[in-house]
Structure formats: structure tokens, C-alpha cells
């Protein structure tokens, strides 16, 4: 009993899913050293230190630092201490040297090996959660596997015939579910408090194209465990929201309420600023609430965007946990349908009907709470204020992606999308430019694919083709200009690079490569 009390005190709220009690993120391992490195900006990117590996025993490093800090430590001495005791991580670059420009398809096919990681080995003191099979990383500062990125990466791996790595990645995600109770944001200890948009079921659908219906039986238990995680069955994750009419929908909700370890300096400053605006007795509550909203936004993958801000402009008003995201619930609808199909394949008619009923109930709830008749668009629902969010984002096209709208609604959504979101280089993410990376003028590969596939589902192929051709041209033009494939793109001024956010633009880039290859196979 005492052991669990200690774990609670040090902030490990990862519950029963964490079968390995010794899994600690860097802030818990290194304590004051972690705080000092992050707040004194030893590295420009806060993610650098949490991805470092210790050169010796972590406990010994902590003891040495305590002895060092008996006297005041300058930033120069701190930098030297880190250099002496840690090995810095290496960014993955897509800058392949060929001596001459090569076609983008050939470049991407060579990039898979650059972005591939072999099965991991355990390194004491490292934040990496070892995976038993090979996998693809996005690139740049993203040195580990990422959950929702991987589905879009797989679209390109499929075009390249890389079925072996696709299956290995799915096996890794199944391993993570079985080991930790969910698929973390990425395979790092500091990501264990949250997941990401649940695309595992779509990965299984993709693998079934190659291996047949047997994959549903093979991964049924993992599909069920993921569903139970999102539905608060295996742990009090608080993803579930009971709506006024008794229906059930879901939100994003990180299990922790401290600054993100990989963005510690940024979150600490923001949360401190907000907490100082209130009475002293409320400061701790405001601080933790603000951090949870930041972390929960990271779970959604759109970190950050005006979509999540109460005033539609400022991150100081972030309210992620108050919103029912339309796209999250569409993905959970698809997961429910996939479970229904898996049980049908298994010959279990009773459970098939159970999950089909759940899917139909969710479909009805999405249309009740998220369809905006005036805008002819799907929006998030603010359940704290009992009203729809006024923010229009490209997430509103996701219901077409999972086939839950009528043909008439699909035509209305198509019209709104063309009027508001379609730009010279593809689809813009939101209608506001706030300096956040998931706002205008930026476009992102996964969102282009969701929209294109959604339009195709309703035979709206002309518009789907327009988006595809504009996105392909933008990607290829930037590649011709820079030799790189980027994480995100400026779709409004295609001569400018995408910006915004907490870090510089990254290249590589897993999901861009995947979507581009897939689209070029169909539209180019």
C-alpha cells in the first residue's frame, strides 16, 4: 500500500495500465536537474533534454548534480554538466545526398530506410519505450513512433509495397495497448499520460486488404482494449461525456496536469502567467487546469489551434477538455463499426449487434450536437456552455470520411468547404491566423487526405481532385525548391514556408510522404 502512495505523490497517475511500475518520465528521474535544464534554456528545443540518454547511472548523475548545486550553478556550468553526463539525440533529416535531384517518388522510397528504426533495446535512464518490431518515425525532432501520424505514413508504405513494416508497426501498437492499456502519443515515457486520435482500427482495415479478414480476429482483443480505454472502462480516463439527452460522446483528456515534459519551459511560463491572474488560493487549481488543457490539446494532435480557445484567438483561453470534438467521435464511431465487424467475422452475432447499436447511437449524437445547420458544417460542441463552438475548422469534413452524413449534407459540406477552406495549395486548417501552427495559413497532409477520401465517399470526385492536385503541386514545388518534404505547408501563399507553433519547421516527413505517394498514385 505504501508503494502506491509514493507513486501517487510523485505524480504517476497512469493507473493499472502501467504494468511496469518503474517507468518514470525524465522529470521524475532527474528532478531539479530536469527543471534547471528546461527553465534555463540549456537547449533551444525543450524536447532535446527529455530525449537525451545518460552516459552513466541516472541515480549517480542526480547525486553528482546535488553536490554541484551546493553552490550556485551558472548556465555555463549547467551546460557543461549536461554535456559530460548525457548523449544528445540526433535529428533525422530527409536531406539525402544524391549528387543530382531525383523524382519525389524515388526520394520518398529511399526515405523509408532513413526514417526506419529497428527493434529497440532498453537503455536505462532513457525516455524511449522500447518496441519489439521495426517502425517508421516522422523525422526531424520526432525521433519516435507517433500514433496518428503512422496511419497516414502507412498509406504511402502501402504504395511502396512495404507491407512488412506496416504489419510490424501494427504489432507495435498492439504491444503498446497490451502493455500500457492504450497507445501513447508516442513511445516515450513522457507520452504515457495520453493517447492520440484513435486510428488503430483504420490500420487494421488497411492490413485486412493484404491479409484478409483473419486480421480482425488476430487483433480483436487489442481493438477492444483501445475502445475500453476511450470509454473509461479500464481506468478513470475521463474521456467520456454524458450528454443532456443521455447519449454518450467523447473528449480529449490527458491524465496529468503538469507542464508537458517535452515542452516544459513553454507550458510552465504560460501556466504561471495564467495562475497569477487569480487569487492566491485559486492559483494551484488554475495552474493544473491550464496544464491539463495544454496536454489534452496535445492528445488531439492539433497542438495548438484557435479551435480550442474560448475566445478563438488566445492560448490563454484554452479549453480543450470542455469540447466534444467532431473528428474524435467520428473515429470512435469507426472503431465501434470495426468492432462490430470483427465480432461478426468471429461469428458472435450478439456482440456484433451490440457494437452496431453503439455506432448508430453515436452517429445520431454527432448529427444532433455537431451539425450546424446555419453554417452547413460540422463543428465541435462546447458541453460546458451547452452550445456549439463558433469555430469552423477543416475537422468538420470528417463525418464524410466515416460515411455518417446524407448525400444532401455532403453536398452542403462540399459547398462550404470550397467557399471557406479551399486555397491555392489545398485546404487550410482553420479560418484564423493566430500564429499557432494548426491555424491558417497552414495545411496538413492528414487533413487533406481525410477531406479527399470523404468527398470520394460521396462521389464528389471533381472537388476531391482539385484538392489533390493542388496539394500534390505544393508538395512537389517545395521539394523542388528545398529538397525536402515538410511536416506542414503554407496553402495560402505557396511561395512561403509554413510557420507558427513551438518549434521550427521539421522535414522528413512521415505523413506527408505517405499521403503524397497515395495521392500521386490516384491523381498524378
C-alpha cell at position 387: 452550445
Spell out the long-range contacts of 94-97 with Cβ–Cβ below 8 A and sequence spacing 24 or more: 94/139, 94/483, 94/484, 94/485, 94/507, 94/508, 94/509, 95/483, 95/484, 95/507
Instruction: Give backbone dihedrals phi and psi of 261, rounded to 5 degrees, phi first.
Output: -60, -35
| Residue 79 a catalytic site member | no
Residue listed under C-alpha cell 485546404: 427
Contact 219, 203 (CB under 8 A): no
Report the distance separating Cα 38 and Cα 377, nearest Å: 42
Provide the strand spans (E) within 57-170. 86-87, 116-117, 135-136
* Catalytic site residue from 303, 391, 414, 439: 303
Report the distance separating Cα 291 and Cα 270, nearest Å: 9
C-alpha cell at position 280: 492566491
Rg (CA), the chain: 23
Report the distance separating Cα 440 and Cα 448, nearest Å: 14
Please name every residue paired with 250 in a beta bridge, in sequence order, or none if there are none: 240
* Catalytic site residue from 51, 336, 487, 507: 487
| Residue 487 a catalytic site member | yes
Catalytic positions, written as ranges: 303, 487
Amino acid at each position: 500500500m505504501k508503494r502506491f502512495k509514493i507513486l501517487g505523490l510523485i505524480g504517476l497517475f497512469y493507473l493499472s495500465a502501467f504494468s511496469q511500475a518503474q517507468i518514470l518520465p525524465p522529470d521524475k528521474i532527474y528532478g531539479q536537474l530536469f527543471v534547471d535544464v528546461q527553465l534555463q534554456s540549456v537547449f533551444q528545443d525543450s524536447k532535446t533534454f527529455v530525449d537525451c540518454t545518460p552516459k552513466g547511472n541516472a541515480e549517480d548523475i542526480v547525486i553528482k548534480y546535488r553536490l554541484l548545486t551546493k553552490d550556485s550553478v551558472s548556465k555555463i556550468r549547467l551546460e557543461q554538466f549536461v554535456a559530460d553526463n548525457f548523449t544528445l539525440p540526433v535529428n533525422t533529416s530527409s536531406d539525402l545526398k544524391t549528387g543530382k535531384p531525383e523524382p519525389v517518388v524515388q526520394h520518398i522510397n529511399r526515405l523509408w530506410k532513413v526514417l526506419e528504426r529497428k527493434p529497440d533495446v532498453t537503455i536505462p535512464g532513457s525516455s524511449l519505450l522500447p518496441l519489439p518490431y521495426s517502425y517508421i518515425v516522422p523525422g526531424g525532432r520526432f525521433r519516435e513512433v507517433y500514433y496518428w501520424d503512422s496511419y497516414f505514413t502507412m498509406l504511402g508504405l502501402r504504395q511502396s509495397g512495404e507491407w512488412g513494416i506496416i504489419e510490424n508497426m501494427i504489432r507495435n501498437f498492439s504491444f503498446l495497448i497490451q502493455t500500457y492499456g492504450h497507445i501513447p502519443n508516442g513511445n516515450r515515457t513522457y507520452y504515457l499520460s495520453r493517447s492520440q486520435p484513435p486510428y488503430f482500427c483504420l490500420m487494421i482495415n488497411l492490413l485486412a486488404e493484404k491479409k484478409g479478414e483473419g486480421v480482425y480476429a488476430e487483433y480483436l482483443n487489442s481493438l477492444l482494449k483501445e475502445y475500453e480505454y476511450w470509454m473509461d472502462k479500464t481506468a478513470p480516463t475521463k474521456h467520456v461525456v454524458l450528454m443532456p439527452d443521455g447519449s454518450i460522446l467523447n473528449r480529449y483528456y490527458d491524465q496529468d496536469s503538469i507542464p508537458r515534459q517535452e515542452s516544459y519551459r513553454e507550458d510552465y511560463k504560460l501556466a504561471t502567467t495564467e495562475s497569477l491572474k487569480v487569487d492566491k488560493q485559486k492559483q494551484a487549481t488554475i495552474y493544473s487546469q491550464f496544464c491539463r488543457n495544454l496536454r489534452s490539446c496535445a492528445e488531439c494532435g492539433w497542438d495548438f489551434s484557435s479551435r480550442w480557445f474560448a475566445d478563438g484567438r488566445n492560448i490563454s483561453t484554452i479549453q480543450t477538455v470542455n469540447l466534444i470534438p467532431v473528428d474524435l467521435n467520428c473515429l470512435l464511431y469507426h472503431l465501434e463499426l470495426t468492432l462490430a465487424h470483427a465480432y461478426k467475422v468471429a461469428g458472435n452475432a450478439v456482440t456484433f449487434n451490440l457494437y452496431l447499436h453503439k455506432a448508430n447511437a453515436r452517429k445520431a449524437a454527432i448529427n444532433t450536437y455537431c451539425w450546424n445547420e446555419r453554417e452547413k458544417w460540422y463543428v465541435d460542441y462546447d458541453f460546458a456552455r451547452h452550445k456549439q463552438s463558433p469555430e469552423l475548422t477543416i475537422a468538420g469534413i470528417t463525418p464524410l470520411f466515416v460515411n455518417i452524413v446524407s448525400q444532401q449534407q455532403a453536398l452542403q459540406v462540399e459547398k462550404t468547404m470550397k467557399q471557406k477552406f479551399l486555397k491555392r495549395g489545398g485546404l487550410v486548417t482553420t479560418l484564423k491566423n493566430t500564429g499557432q501552427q494548426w491555424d491558417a495559413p497552414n495545411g496538413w497532409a492528414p487533413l487533406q487526405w481525410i477531406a479527399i477520401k470523404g468527398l470520394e465517399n460521396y462521389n464528389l470526385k471533381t472537388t476531391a481532385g482539385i484538392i489533390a492536385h493542388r496539394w500534390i503541386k505544393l508538395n512537389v514545388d517545395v521539394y523542388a525548391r528545398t529538397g525536402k518534404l515538410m511536416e506542414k505547408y503554407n496553402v495560402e501563399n505557396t511561395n512561403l514556408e509554413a510557420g507558427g507553433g513551438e518549434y521550427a519547421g521539421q522535414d522528413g516527413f512521415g505523413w506527408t510522404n505517405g499521403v503524397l505517394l497515395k495521392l500521386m498514385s490516384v491523381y498524378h
